[in-house]
Amino acid sequence: MRMQWYLLLLLAVLTAGQKTLSLRRSPEATDIVETHKDIPFTTQFSSQDGTSVRLSNDLVSYTFASAAQGFGLLSMLEPSSRIEHILSSNVSPFLWNAEWRDADGLGYQTTNLSPAFKSSSKEQNEEGEVLTLRWDNLTMGNFWGAPQLAISIIATIELPTNSSIAYFSVRIDHRTEPVGDPCLWSLDYPIIQNIGRPSDVVIFPRGFGIRINTNSANRLQYPGETNYQAISQCDGKTRSCVYFAAQDPSGHYKTINYVEREMYVGHIPGDTCVKRGGGVKPDYSSPWRTALGVHSGDWWDASQIYRRWALSEADWTKKGRVVDRTDIPNWHKEATLWFNTGWDSGVLNSTEGDPLVAVPKLLKLREIIGADFSLHYYCWHHFPFDSNYPDYFPAKTGWTEGVQKLKEAGVKVLPYINGRLWDYNSPSFTKEEATPHLTKSAAPRFNPRTVQPSLENYGSGQNFAVACPHTTYWQNKISSVVDTLFQENSISGIYIDQIAAATSVACADAEHGHSTRGGDYFVKGAARELDLAQEAASRVGGIIVSESNSEPFMSSLSGFLSLVAYDSCDSVPFFVSSYSDYSITFGRIFLEIDATVPSGFNTKMAEMFLLGSQLGWAGVGGFNPFYSFLLDERNAASLNFLRNLMEISSTHKKYFRDGRLMPKPSITSSKAVIIDTGCKRPAIDVAAWKSGEDESLSVFITNANVMDDDVIAVRVDLKRLEMEGERFSVTVKMGEKNETSILQGTELKMKMDMPRVSIAVITVTPLK
């Protein structure tokens, strides 16, 4: 007995430091474990022998470890090709990780490898097979004195008969009353480790999509830091891919994670630790299913899987396609070009918003471009940028009159406001007693006694709180600002910043009426805030837009300012392929180098054109004044190229606005010129769009180079681009050229001259 006591005491000493580990990078996170591999392996109590568990059909086979090894996923195999997507490992894999907290803040960490009574069962239903994995009588850690509670974790994996994708859900049950601490603070599930090969191509859901390395660490919050909920990983040689997506139709607070060939979703449960109403709700059931499976092709094929789910289930697609939405005015659906009054990556120069400075420049731009455009108007108020929110009035002297002049000239003005921040030093913060309406954070513990308002600051150095969008007070506050702007000025819309771009905050204020910490209240509250703003805008045929392209706000906005989408050299248009006909995107950052590097301005405009975005958002003032660039006669070719992009974009809306972005055709050029403005882009580029009105397909080719003519060869696999039939009409338009021919077969090959700063359109139409 003495020896046993000594060994137990030694075990407690050695492992005591392991119980406060946390796996999240959230505002409340404390200690950080870099990967789940860093969690210490623990002992198990099993109800079964060492037999692995299999879930399979003709398309995919999943093998889970035995109960003794914790049921982690060992294999994901494609039976037909024998391609294995989970590489073997000598360590038992993780499937879930839970962090618990007691009333003093002490943390406990449990995983699928922790001591518990483990069992599995499998059943067949009309749709396919369902595997249930259980961990009963879970112990809160691997150390002496760790509480063993009547807690069960139940993981369910559903595999439909004719599907190559399985669906993971999880439930946590407390089977005794009353329930005290510890409480569930966070849960990572499902954890999929050792995925694919180091050379695989991974597309992570930031911006439109971003290509990342398999050995990188990416832990971002949704919504805000990530813009959709899917990860694609493909082997470029075999064209065999892994698809991983949280299928959450209402936008719950979570994290999307890819860390060194490990994918997982971080759940932030609501009401489990912070009391609301009658107390905490200790049980947790995932509000969504996470999809994991295989497919052939590349990231584009993954985007179509995601699209099919989103169109059938997601709240944000319920209003339908852009062309059918009555809350978006036709002038915005037809728009092609944007400018801003002057943008900087730090503190904006408030004088750029002076109507005496900005309005004459904008009227001159309207004259030389020869077409209407939309304007994002910064610093129209008296106070410096990024201060005093939400106290905006009065506007600068002469601004109302300047807006009227711009409207008469065909310039649609959208002033800037912030829809999220409340300046601690704004007059209204004290006068209106702002604190009850702010988001609050809670220390990680069971039933924390106090919650604290948030604090953020930006380039101005001012301190801001984040208002809780679920509160009626804040919704009405922003609505009042919007109403005043529309009533007193001839504006065409309002840009409400941060709602679709900044991090959603897990609010722990139980007085707000929403679930504490986890939940979809941030999205629903912000959507209500935007809907109230849109009601005011609709009365005058106006629009409401916001920054970034966060999917859950799609139906509450008329457009997304897509700055983040274009800010990486490794961007991939996954979002566009998923939502091209359901959202309007516009704008990107233009820098001084884009005006000084030959063809830099053109290359950025061409990329936006090919991805269906409304063009521009270059500044007419500030540190990147494209006003002088466009007025300079030496840049006449670039100005003419911009006009041509606008015209073709306008006349081909059935593709760019109403259609779908298809897989990119193959294209080569004899000179292979690269334009380097910080990102290296080809001077000649291509995109294919399928019409949303008829069965036609158009291939758009741009040569952004102001220096050189070129010769290109393009190859289009029509079958890959979902064109049906074997006989097609092919029309080539470029400048005055307009030629039509007949193609027999499903592969289009063409060699053609591409003059400098030119655009070619190849339209393919099936023939009966």
Are 257 and 226 within 8 A, CB to CB? Answer: no
Task: Report the distance separating Cα 676 and Cα 238, nearest Å.
Answer: 32
DSSP result, 159-187: EETT-SEEEEEEEEEE-SSS--S-EEEEE
Q: Per CATH, the architecture of 660-766 is what?
A: Sandwich (2.60)
What pLDDT, on the 0 to 100 scale, is given for residue 150? 78
Indicate whether 77 pLDDT > 50: yes
What pLDDT, on the 0 to 100 scale, is given for residue 589? 94
How does pLDDT run across 584-625, given as a tens digit for each residue?
Answer: 999 999 998 999 988 999 999 999 999 999 999 999 987 667
Task: Report the distance separating Cα 386 and Cα 498, nearest Å.
Answer: 12
pLDDT confidence band for 139 (50 / 70 / 90): confident
What pLDDT, on the 0 to 100 scale, is given for residue 182? 84
Burial of residue 634, with CB atoms counted within 10 A of its CB: 0-12 exposed, 13-18 middle, 19 or more buried: exposed
pLDDT confidence band for 146 (50 / 70 / 90): low
In this structure, of 360-364, 422-426, 617-621, the range with the lowest mean pLDDT score is 617-621
The token pair at 235 is 């082997």
How many Cα neighbours within 13 Å face the side chain of 194?
Answer: 17
pLDDT confidence band for 22 (50 / 70 / 90): very low
pLDDT confidence band for 346 (50 / 70 / 90): low
Rg of the chain taking only CA atoms, in angstroms: 28
pLDDT confidence band for 27 (50 / 70 / 90): very low
What pLDDT, on the 0 to 100 scale, is given for residue 730? 98
Residue ranges of the chain assigned to CATH 2.60.40.1180: 660-766
Indicate whether 247 pLDDT > 90: yes
Task: Report the distance separating Cα 105 and Cα 441, nearest Å.
Answer: 14
Task: Report the distance separating Cα 69 and Cα 74, nearest Å.
Answer: 10
In this structure, of 35-49, 128-142, 396-410, the range with the lowest mean pLDDT score is 35-49
Are 438 and 25 within 8 A, CB to CB? Answer: no
What pLDDT, on the 0 to 100 scale, is given for residue 372? 98
What pLDDT, on the 0 to 100 scale, is given for residue 11? 37
Q: Three-class SS of residue 403? A: helix
How many Cα neighbours within 13 Å face the side chain of 486?
Answer: 23
Q: Identify the residue with better confidence: 288 or 177.
A: 288
pLDDT confidence band for 16 (50 / 70 / 90): very low
Helices 600-610 and 636-651 sit at what angle, rounded to 10 degrees?
Answer: 0
Map tokens 């208002």 to a residue.
467
Pairing of strands 284-285, 289-296: unpaired
| Distances 402 to 92, 358, 361, 406, 558 between C-alpha atoms, Å | 68, 9, 12, 6, 24
pLDDT confidence band for 34 (50 / 70 / 90): very low
What pLDDT, on the 0 to 100 scale, is given for residue 60? 98
Spell 292-330 as b/e; 16+ CB within 10 A means b.
bbbbebbbbbbbbbbbebbbeebbbbebebbbeeebbbe
How does pLDDT run across 468-502, given as a tens digit for each residue?
Answer: 999 999 999 999 999 999 999 999 999 999 999 99
What pLDDT, on the 0 to 100 scale, is given for residue 222? 97
What pLDDT, on the 0 to 100 scale, is given for residue 354? 93
How does pLDDT run across 546-590, given as a tens digit for each residue?
Answer: 999 999 999 999 999 999 999 899 999 999 999 999 999 999 999
What pLDDT, on the 0 to 100 scale, is given for residue 340? 96
Percentage with pLDDT > 70 across the chain? 91
pLDDT (average), residues 171-177: 81
| Distances 324 to 543, 611, 692 between C-alpha atoms, Å | 16, 21, 12
In this structure, of 49-63, 142-156, 260-274, 283-297, the range with the lowest mean pLDDT score is 142-156
What pLDDT, on the 0 to 100 scale, is given for residue 89? 84
Are 757 and 704 within 8 A, CB to CB? Answer: yes
Q: Identify the residue with better confidence: 690 or 678.
A: 690
pLDDT (average), residues 2-18: 35
* DSSP summary character for residue 93: P
* DSSP summary character for residue 315: G
Burial of residue 116, with CB atoms counted within 10 A of its CB: 0-12 exposed, 13-18 middle, 19 or more buried: buried
Task: Report the distance separating Cα 400 and Cα 351, nearest Å.
Answer: 16
Task: Report the distance separating Cα 583 and Cα 554, nearest Å.
Answer: 6
